[in-house]
């Protein structure tokens, strides 16, 4: 899906970030009340996660604000990668939350604690589930339209909340009906493992963006077909792509007739650049013209030669 104009993207991302902060505050308050009345470790684990989400959502808001700033003399590619830094910070908080809950869960096995007011806890978690689901639907919509790494990471946080909320509701129901207290602790431990796993995935994606990992093969193939379909283009090579944080960067060598004048070569290159930007709005494109048939060592050849050593 093509990206929206930059101004609309920034507006959507800021709205999603503010909505996330507001919900995180509300969920933290609701779950704190639930912990006080139930004594449930599972509810406590969810409350800790919501508190971490509050901090992470605040980081998301500031990262979106920074990434929305236009390019300047010190940051000529823009500030989009601030969102990847945000995602990396969020993954660290999720990881910390998971480890804390795991530690508390092991302690509960050693020193069991009785639960009270499980019915109240169930009601609390159902309310949280409904509110979280509504936010996630909105965040996924925004991430799809903007390709925002920070919003996608924030949605992943709350996606974990959906799973944890459902598991905690089931856990409290089982404790209430069958009086199996340790089931609450087991649920909390499972949630903590999932939190840690999810944090690792978020960190991996953020690091990939910060390390300028190539865009997907689908995007590269689509770009190649588009360029080769343009008039007067005889080939391309040394294609390099990266995500600047919701904004694509394309660099390529364009093969044209060597007898063209510099003016003509420039005009045909501009035609190619404009078609790329029609297909990938807001993208940055750098094109180097090469005479068709001229041999020079290609980037792919250099990479292959290095990795064969």
| pLDDT band at residue 1 using 50, 70 and 90 as cut-offs | very low
Q: Render pLDDT for 99-136 as a digit per residue (tens, 0 to 9).
A: 877 877 777 677 766 666 678 888 888 998 999 999 99
**Which pLDDT value is given to residue 78?**
77
Q: Render pLDDT for 163-203 as a digit per residue (tens, 0 to 9).
A: 778 877 887 888 788 877 777 778 778 877 877 887 888 88
From the candidate CATH numbers 3.30.70.20, 3.30.70.1350, 1.10.1740.10, 3.40.50.300, the one assigned to the domain spanning 217-308: 3.30.70.1350
pTM comes to 0.65
Count of C-beta atoms within a 10 Å radius of residue 249: 19
**Which pLDDT value is given to residue 112?**
65
> Same CATH fold, 217-308 and 6-210?
no
Count of C-beta atoms within a 10 Å radius of residue 98: 26
Is the distance from CB of 20 to CB of 145 less than 8 angstroms? no
Tell me how many helices (H) and strands (E) the chain has: 9, 3
Is the distance from CB of 268 to CB of 256 less than 8 angstroms? yes
Map out the domains of the chain as residue ranges: 6-210, 217-308
Of 24, 17, 84, whose CA–CA distance to 244 is shortest? Answer: 84
Helices (H), 111-216: 118-146, 149-178, 182-210
Structure tokens at 299: 């980037």
Top CATH class, 6-210: mainly alpha
**Which pLDDT value is given to residue 226?**
96
């Amino acid at each position: 899906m093509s990206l929206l104009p930059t101004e609309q993207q920034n507006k959507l991302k800021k709205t999603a970030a503010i909505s996330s902060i507001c919900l995180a505050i509300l969920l933290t308050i609701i779950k704190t009340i639930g912990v006080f009345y139930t004594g449930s470790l599972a509810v406590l684990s969810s409350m800790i996660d919501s508190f971490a989400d509050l901090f992470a959502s605040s980081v998301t808001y500031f990262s979106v604000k920074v990434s929305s700033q236009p390019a300047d003399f010190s940051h000529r590619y823009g500030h989009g990668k601030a969102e990847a830094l945000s995602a990396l910070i969020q993954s660290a908080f999720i990881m910390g939350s998971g480890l804390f809950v795991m530690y508390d869960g092991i302690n509960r096995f050693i020193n069991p604690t009785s639960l009270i007011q499980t019915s109240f806890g169930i009601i609390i978690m159902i309310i949280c589930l409904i509110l979280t689901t509504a936010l996630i639907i909105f965040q996924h919509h925004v991430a799809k339209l903007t390709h925002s790494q920070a919003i996608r990471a924030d949605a992943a946080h709350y996606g974990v909340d959906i799973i944890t909320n459902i598991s905690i509701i089931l856990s409290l129901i089982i404790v209430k009906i069958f009086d199996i207290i340790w089931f609450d602790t087991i649920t909390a431990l499972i949630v903590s493992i999932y939190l840690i796993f999810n944090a690792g995935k978020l960190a991996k994606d953020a690091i990939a963006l910060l390390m300028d990992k190539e865009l997907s093969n689908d995007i590269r193939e689509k770009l190649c077909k588009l360029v080769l379909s343009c008039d007067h283009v005889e080939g391309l090579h040394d294609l390099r792509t990266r995500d600047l944080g919701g904004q694509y960067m394309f660099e390529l060598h364009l093969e044209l007739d060597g007898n063209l004048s510099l003016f003509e070569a420039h005009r045909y290159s501009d035609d190619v650049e404009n078609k790329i930007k029609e297909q990938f709005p807001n993208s940055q494109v750098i094109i180097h013209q090469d005479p068709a048939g001229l041999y020079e060592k290609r980037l792919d050849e250099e990479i292959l030669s290095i990795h064969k050593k």
